[in-house]
Amino acid sequence: MVRVGVVGASGYTGGELVRLLIGHREAALTVLASRGSAGKAAAEVYPNLRGYDLPPISGIAADSLARDCDVVFIAAPAGVAALLAKEILTARPSVRIVDLGADFRLKSPASYQEWYGVPHEAPDLVAEASYGLPELYRDEIRKSRIVANPGCYPTAALLALAPLVSRGIVDLRSLIIDAKSGVSGAGRTPSPGYHFPECEENLRAYGVPRHRHTPEIEQELRRLAMQGLGPRGEAGCGTGTAAGAPGRADTDEDGITVTFTPHLVPMSRGILVTAYGLLKTPAPAVAVRSGASNKTGLPGYVPRDAAPCPETTGEGPRPDALTALYEEFYAHERFVRVLRGSLPETKAVRGSNFCDIAVRIDVRTGRVVVFSALDNLVKGAAGQAIQNMNVLFGLEESTGLEAPPVWP
């Protein structure tokens, strides 16, 4: 049984962690900690948790977290996790840390200070932290003490764009990410902009043009472009090393820029991303054939100059070929659902760890359009954190996360 601590237990993400961990057969909640709710019962903070046997909420103490936990989830504002992780790991180096905040996502402490406005409290730990997107970096996560749980927007954007970017199918300077999120993404602390009368029947952009998730998205897209990834078990997807993949040395540090515009919509939870990119001409891969292989290392994909086959066109990939690329890329991923005949919608993933994806080509403009939907509190936060915990401890990855979405 994995002993689990949750720091920030009174926030929306912390509460979602507790809700999901109650149903996890291999986890035992031993510590619930919060600065603002110490001394309260969990049910006082979250009425949906009435009737469950849970530890009382305590203050945040590194020594008790190190002593009583095998893994600590930290759902706290920027700057908190780095210092707390350092204290916990100093007291007991074998504890695993899953940070649901931003402290370990950016690999450059200088970039962290630029975007978050505070110096990094543990720059010596940044290098050993893995980026916690299991669909792309599973083996790397498995070996880590510290996992940086991705942001909700980056999770949706990266899962949407990974197959295209890693295969060099889109112009890396043409990427536009338009995202809509429910109000819970802003957290539980009240503020006028998130007050019901101001959110209801209102939709607005925010964080433009320097939302803090922008450098995180660019950092990981750059990594995908440099390494190349394929379906899990093929060309290194899920390993974090991309062994055998057609990495592209022509991608430099300035080779990827994204225009990222988030919007607040009047619903409690959910994210819908629509990502756009210009298709490269010529497209490097245009078709799928059963059993086919080529020198690029991408099984099943046929280069543009190959002999014609039913799935190819003279101008680039057909829409069904791109959908097939996504289906192959995520073929073994339990929580990514690639849609053919429909488009993602937030209600279809509500309360679940699923991310739904669909891809379309606008032939008239030469753009590819990718849609992704997820629950910002589950796959965008708490569910993905538990998925990372399962990877860290060698558990079945879907343990505690198999509940279907809530509908309607």
CA-derived radius of gyration, the chain: 21
Which helix (H) or strand (E) covers residue 177, if one does? strand 175-181
Q: Token pair for residue 321? A: 């070929």
Could you give the CA distance from residue 119 to residue 243 in angstroms, rounded to a whole number?
Answer: 35
Q: Is 152 a catalytic residue?
A: yes
From the candidates 152, 199, 237, 355, give the one annotated as an active-site residue.
Answer: 152
Distance CA 223, CA 242 (A): 10
d(CA 342, CA 357): 10
Burial class (CB in 10 A: 0-12, 13-18, 19+), 399: middle
Tokens in use for 78?
A: 């920027």
User: Residue 361, SS3?
Assistant: strand
Burial 121-145 (b: 16+ CB within 10 A, else e): bbeebbeebbbbbbbbbbebbbebb
404, with CB counted inside 10 A (0-12, 13-18, 19+), is exposed
State the catalytic residues.
Answer: 152
